[in-house]
Amino acid sequence: MIPNGYLIFEDESFLDSTVAKMNALRKSGQFCDVRLQVCGHELMAHRAVLACCSPYLFEIFNSDAEPHGVSHVTFEDLDPEAVEILLNYAYTAQLKADKDLVKEVYSAAKRFKMERVKQICGDYLLSKIDSQNAISLRNFASSMGDGRLLGKVDAFIQDNLLEVSEQEDFLKLPRLKLEVMLEDNLTLPSNGKLYSKVLSWVQRSLWENGDHLERLMEEVQTLYYSPDHKLVDGGLVIEGHSEVFGGEEDHLQFVQKKPVRESTQRQMSCSSSGSLSPSNQAANVPKQTARREWKYIASEKTANNIYLCLAVLDGVLCVIFLHGRSSPQTSPSATPCLMKSLSFEAQPEELEEHPLSPMHYARSGLGTAALNGKLIAAGGYNREECLRTVECYDPKEDHWTFIAPMRTPRARFQMAVLMGQLYVIGGSNGHSDELSCGEAYDPHADEWAQIPELRTNRCNAGVCSLNNKLYVVGGSDPCGQKGLKNCDAFDPVTKTWSNCASLNISTCPHSTIYFTKFCTHDLNCQTFNLIDGVSELGRHQAAVCELDGFMYAIGGAESWNCLNTVERYNPDNNTWTLVAPMNVARRGAAVAVHAGKPVTGTWVIWEHF
């Protein structure tokens, strides 16, 4: 067609032919004037083409001191295959990537500022989202700083939290466990207000009190929800105080009354070096808020006053388990936490109290045992540190001395004496990791030696010697989600572990299953893993002792639910039998045999908070 004397011709195949030839020239290295060094791989290309597709590379090329020379651009953190895919796209307008490379292509497109490719990759990832990959995709979106992708992933998690919570990625997330004590006839506020208060509590714990997030997660944190709808520190209620740090406001002004740690004191004393004083530290809270992300993502009320939440705390994706507990008098399975109880399950003669010499180190979650007429206290937590040190108390001298330290720092474990040696098994190393290793202490040589490892990493397990063998009963699984029911026996002669009978299986009349594994009809049912009406009852933080040739596992907890049940192990037929339950459910209690009396008069059990 020739209007007005001009020749106009459109060659529909020219563009496709040209870009194909240009891409062929790139791959053969002809006329190329830029080299991309990507993790040891060299990729050739033409500056003009890349500058048109990538604003990032345009800026680099435009600032070259020698624009007519061959440019070298190095990338040490990108995938060579992903960059090759982007080069093909730059020349052909076709994006073709294997599904396993889409995230790498996204990362490279982000660096090159190729927004259209980022969006296409993000949409593809969203089209493949399911409960199994939601957490890993959220972590990726967060690392990329993609608010659009992050928002859509969070929306998916909000709609499918229970399914997501059953996946391996979710179970590996850090966990914060909270118990909120409730007066009778009170319920917790709605999810939004509830977790706004929780996030504020964590912020104040970190910033005003010098806590670390890892430390908060090592133990269950106890709070108290008052009848006037205010949240107070459970420790203050125990001590008889009533100081209130928050009310109906969404943001709770919460300060835990704990002593300032030595490391914090040292930092504050060096004002000349720029460290913060307490007042300056509080004044700088807004600046810290801006540095890290704090976000409530999703939550589910899985049973009466039991909540599961996913949130970002100080930039860390975390799971929050929250359990609202009623007054302990409502049920023998409830945990008595609001009063310091002096009750015991025995009838010993009247006990006289008098202060003894203190240990050299403050310890929580430690192991104790009697050895050669002396008391041994080993490991435990001392604020920031998981301890290796071991102290020995002589009751005749009322004096503590150090003995050889353990080879491994550990806490949340029990220990026992077997054939004249002291054994420590499992526990936690202070980094949220459960241990499988164990050690034996020889008092004559004053040294510790490793013993064969357990088959299962565990902490909060019961340990007891019986018939020249060492038994490890229950404990917490490596994910910390449930109590274990399996038990193991160690033979010090052959130095081998063997399985023994598991703790009892009881029957629940209800069959509904929720993530928390509590029976939704009756939270006092003390059940776990409900399958066709049968549940496995596991225990952690149980008290374990030997009496008259039997081993007793007393109380403890299964997930959130404290137990008042007691089981007795008979080594002759390798069986556990349920015996009379305690009057009060307990976890983390201590047990001792007193005067060899029958069951009703042999246990002295003190509450532990």
Q: Do residue 293 and residue 394 come from a single domain?
A: no
Judge contact between 85 and 101, C-beta under 8 A.
yes
Query: What per-residue confidence (pLDDT) applies to 336?
Result: 35
Q: Do residue 101 and residue 204 come from a single domain?
A: no
Q: Do residue 597 and residue 491 come from a single domain?
A: yes
Position 203 pLDDT exceeds 70: yes
The CATH number linked to 407 is 2.120.10.80
Residue with the larger pLDDT of the pair 557 and 468: 468
- pLDDT tens for 75-129 read 988 999 999 999 989 888 889 999 999 999 999 999 999 999 999 999 999 999 9
- Beta strand spans in 362-476 (E): 367-371, 374-378, 381-382, 385-386, 390-394, 399-403, 415-418, 421-425, 438-442, 447-451, 462-466, 469-473
Residue with the larger pLDDT of the pair 324 and 116: 116
Position 74 pLDDT exceeds 60: yes
Q: Do residue 495 and residue 587 come from a single domain?
A: yes
What H or E segment, with its residue span, contains residue 498? strand 496-500
Query: What per-residue confidence (pLDDT) applies to 379?
Result: 92
| Residue 1 neighbours by CB distance under 10 Å | 7
Residue 334 lies in a domain: no
Give me the mean pLDDT over the 222-248 stretch: 56
% pLDDT > 70, the chain: 71
Cα torsion 271, 274, 278, 284 to 10°: value is 160
Query: What per-residue confidence (pLDDT) applies to 535?
Result: 41
Mean pLDDT, the chain, rounded, equals: 76
Three-state secondary-structure class, residue 560: coil
- pLDDT tens for 137-192 read 999 999 999 999 999 999 999 999 999 998 989 988 999 888 888 776 677 776 66
Query: What per-residue confidence (pLDDT) applies to 469?
Result: 94
Give me the mean pLDDT over the 526-537 stretch: 39
Rounded (10°) angle between helices 147-159 and 134-144: 160
Residue 252 lies in a domain: yes
Position 299 pLDDT exceeds 50: yes
Position 419 pLDDT exceeds 90: yes
Position 510 pLDDT exceeds 90: no
Residue 5 lies in a domain: no
Query: What per-residue confidence (pLDDT) applies to 26?
Result: 80
Query: What per-residue confidence (pLDDT) applies to 222?
Result: 82
Query: What per-residue confidence (pLDDT) applies to 139?
Result: 94
Q: Which residues contact 413 (CB under 8 A, 6 or more apart)?
A: 365, 367, 379, 424, 425, 426, 427, 428, 435, 459, 460, 461, 463
Judge contact between 212 and 176, C-beta under 8 A.
no
Residue 491 lies in a domain: yes
Query: What per-residue confidence (pLDDT) applies to 209?
Result: 65
% pLDDT > 90, the chain: 35
Q: Do residue 384 and residue 279 come from a single domain?
A: no
Among 231, 588, 172, 199, which residue's Cα sits nearest to residue 412? 588
Residue 134 lies in a domain: no
Query: What per-residue confidence (pLDDT) applies to 597?
Result: 53
Starting at the earlier edge strand, list the strands of the sheet with 316-325: 231-233, 221-225, 175-182, 316-325, 306-313, 295-303
Q: Do residue 214 and residue 269 come from a single domain?
A: yes
Residue 160 lies in a domain: no
Residue 424 lies in a domain: yes
Q: Do residue 59 and residue 205 come from a single domain?
A: no
Domain count, the chain: 3
The rounded Cα 572 to chain-centroid distance in angstroms is 39
Residue 596 lies in a domain: yes
For the entire predicted model, the pTM comes to 0.51
DSSP letter assigned to residue 504: P
Residue with the larger pLDDT of the pair 221 and 417: 417
The rounded Cα 554 to chain-centroid distance in angstroms is 26
Among 365, 560, 410, which residue's Cα sits nearest to residue 482? 560
- pLDDT tens for 46-58 read 888 888 899 998 8
Give me the mean pLDDT over the 599-603 stretch: 39
Q: Choose the weakest-confidence range: 60-64, 228-232, 354-358.
A: 228-232
Q: Alpha-carbon distance 462 to 423, whole Å?
A: 12
Give the pLDDT band (50/70/90) at residue 560: low
Tell me whether strands 221-225 and 175-182 are parallel, antiparallel or unpaired: parallel
Query: Positive or negative, the Cα torsion across 151, 153, 155, 161?
Result: negative
DSSP letter assigned to residue 8: -
Residue with the larger pLDDT of the pair 494 and 277: 494
Q: Do residue 77 and residue 195 come from a single domain?
A: no
Tell me whether strands 34-38 and 71-75 are parallel, antiparallel or unpaired: parallel
Task: Find the domain containing 443 and state its range.
Answer: 367-503+538-601
Q: Do residue 253 and residue 396 come from a single domain?
A: no
Q: Do residue 90 and residue 232 come from a single domain?
A: no
Q: Alpha-carbon distance 134 to 156, whole Å?
A: 8
Judge contact between 566 and 580, C-beta under 8 A.
yes
Q: Alpha-carbon distance 428 to 461, whole Å?
A: 11
Q: Do residue 423 and residue 568 come from a single domain?
A: yes
| 163-179 burial code (b ≥16 CB/10 A, e <16) | ebbebebbbeebebbbb
Q: Do residue 306 and residue 416 come from a single domain?
A: no
* Most confident segment among 187-201, 206-220, 287-301, 557-571: 557-571
The CATH number linked to 93 is 3.30.710.10
Encoded tokens for 73? 């651009």
Query: What per-residue confidence (pLDDT) applies to 373?
Result: 92
Position 586 pLDDT exceeds 60: yes
